[in-house]
Structure 1
């Protein structure tokens, strides 16, 4: 029952803030615009020059959000921890629930839940405008294909894991500004650059598939990054990608639990 109370308390704290739904709305608008644009480009406006066609177009459009927007659930997951340190609310949290392991477990569960909510937001923002534009251009929407629905389901799962990874990151680096800089620098510049650079040789490409973003793409099952790079590059199976990404999240949470979570609260 203590864990249930902790989950309830953590949920109330998170969903009582404006930050999570502001990020959610920005993410939905961002993904929706990109999905509609990609659907228009690959769905018909390029005529016979498309590098991909058929059901692969729908898979690319619907998986786009998981590639370009995973930073949002990572940030929300990090804020679950960093906001406590920033506003000094961790002391009353520990007074209400003395077991730090229970508090951390509650935060992990809430992070996974809010990550899944962001995953649903990504799916809706990708599928609704994407399918509408694909249908209007005469391309296949793929909505009758079970593989496409599996991509949607795995997108939700991937975002849940990304949020837990963000929680772990926030547990290791308690400063909110530092975490924001790390997340944006890594997701928007460092990893995309590494994935392009490592894709030039087979050996490097086999290493690049274990980067977190590449593992997330593999879990979802439709890498828009690889497609936009000409379809090249190795990719793990979806379950392997899930294990790699989940393993990274678990390691970060464990490091936070063994370091930051054991220190005295200021």
Structure 2
């Protein structure tokens, strides 16, 4: 089979099951709710509407921080969908007929990568809309600037979609390397929801640790986007220690390339059954 036929087959596999749209709905609900809550609190605090002696925060840069919620808290969803794109086939042995039809396994992996880019764009657009719409509405409601007329804001939104694409590719690499679906998912969740956040938070208090943590995938993703609720909430994890946006993108791409190559060399060429 040619790469075009393999890609068409992979597209059918991914979009003929419920896995992608269930994760998409959860992504939109989770990111939308988080953005709405943060938008309400931050906008109220910036406009001085919070009760009591709550401190007033500056409105400058607030819009992009809220818009970046999609990547700051939602990057685990494209990572999971990329992992499931591969591990589901190992689990249900659907790779066996695929490899029989296409003995060139590298072509099959390229088909998954191409489809993964498309899935990443879809999830990226949904994530951007889920974080931008409620945030912009709340900012406008409190009379604060939405920054939607700024080209820099649109560039940030574009980089957010790129980050989603790279996270899907990283997930494909993880799935190709760790064939066990439960192990891969547990590993992804432990690292993204516990190990890296703890490490990045610790970097705010331990001298020199940020020189290491800024190269972690989540930190590289935030650097690529150019804004993050996480870095805004932990000033010590300082933006001055962050990578340039293009460097963050290259680091994230590097993770994807290394994991996919390792998966291809170590696991992808082994017997499925």
How does the TM-score come out when normalised to structure 2? 0.94
Q: Which runs of 5+ in 2 are unaligned?
A: 49-53
1:209 to 209, 214, 227: 214
Q: What residue number does 2:249 align with?
A: 242
Deviation at 1:118, TM superposition (A): 0.8
Q: 4+ residue runs of structure 1 moved beyond 3 angstroms?
A: none
RMSD of aligned C-alpha atoms?
1.4
Within 2, Cα distance between the matches of 1:179 and 1:265? 16
Within 1, Cα distance between the matches of 2:128 and 2:27? 11
Q: What residue number does 1:255 align with?
A: 262
Deviation at 1:202, TM superposition (A): 4.3
Deviation at 1:176, TM superposition (A): 0.8
Q: What residue number does 1:44 align with?
A: 44
2:112 is the alignment partner of 1:113: no
Q: Which runs of 5+ in 1 are unaligned?
A: none
How does the TM-score come out when normalised to structure 1? 0.96
**1:127-176 Cα distance to aligned partner (Å, 9 max, x none):** 11111111001111110111111111001000000000000000111111
Within 2, Cα distance between the matches of 1:219 and 1:251? 18
Q: What residue number does 1:31 align with?
A: 31
Are 1:42 and 1:52, in contact at CA under 8 Å, matched by a contact in 2?
no
Within 2, Cα distance between the matches of 1:201 and 1:188? 20
Deviation at 1:90, TM superposition (A): 0.5
2:234 to 218, 229, 232: 229
2:76 is the alignment partner of 1:71: yes
Within 2, Cα distance between the matches of 1:232 and 1:81? 34
Q: What residue number does 1:128 align with?
A: 133
Deviation at 1:52, TM superposition (A): 4.0
Q: What residue number does 1:53 align with?
A: 59
Within 1, Cα distance between the matches of 2:236 and 2:44? 19
Q: What residue number does 1:220 align with?
A: 225
Q: 1:205 to 1:62 in 2, by over 3 A?
A: same
Within 2, Cα distance between the matches of 1:236 and 1:53? 24
Are 1:44 and 1:139, in contact at CA under 8 Å, matched by a contact in 2?
no
